[in-house]
């Protein structure tokens, strides 16, 4: 059986909400953990956030979307007709399924 290895690349703790609203509609303490198969500069990486003090989430409010900065991933998403929104030059965001 082939098994993929993943790594915690970095972990950060924040006392206040994200001023850019990147962490959802929460303004309290939160953490961010980056996980992936290699360095962030040239591998797929997922950012996992945790909002302290939130007892539960409404169904559909727990996963908000994925940001794509890979031209190949953007091309694949377009072929699959995923909804994409341009965030910055070469960076797109797709909605949660």
How confident is the model over 34-78, as pLDDT tens digits? 988 888 888 878 888 888 888 777 766 666 667 777 788 888 888
CB-side neighbour CA atoms (13 Å) of 25: 4
Check: CB of residue 67 under 8 Å from CB of residue 58. Answer: no
The CATH code belonging to domain 8-93 is 3.10.180.10
Residue 68's nearest CA partner among 82, 52, 49 is 82
Residue 52's nearest CA partner among 88, 85, 26 is 26
For the chain, the average pLDDT equals: 78
Check: CB of residue 52 under 8 Å from CB of residue 17. Answer: no
Distance (Å, whole) CA 92 – CA 97: 15
Distance (Å, whole) CA 34 – CA 38: 11
Question: Which residue would you say has higher pLDDT here, 79 or 69?
Answer: 79
- Residue 66: the pLDDT is 74
Tell me the pLDDT band of 11, cut-offs 50, 70 and 90.
Answer: very high
The model carries a pTM of 0.56
Backbone angles phi, psi at 71, to 5 degrees: -60, -35
């Amino acid at each position: 059986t082939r098994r993929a290895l993943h790594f915690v690349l970095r972990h950060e703790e924040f006392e206040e909400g994200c001023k850019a609203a990147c962490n959802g509609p929460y303004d309290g303490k939160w953490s961010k953990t980056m996980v992936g198969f290699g360095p962030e500069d040239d591998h797929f990486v997922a950012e996992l956030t945790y909002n302290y003090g939130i007892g539960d989430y409404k169904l559909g409010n727990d996963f908000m979307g994925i940001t794509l900065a890979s031209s190949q991933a953007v091309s694949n998403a377009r072929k699959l007709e995923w909804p994409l929104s341009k965030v910055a030059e070469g960076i797109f965001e797709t909605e949660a399924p």
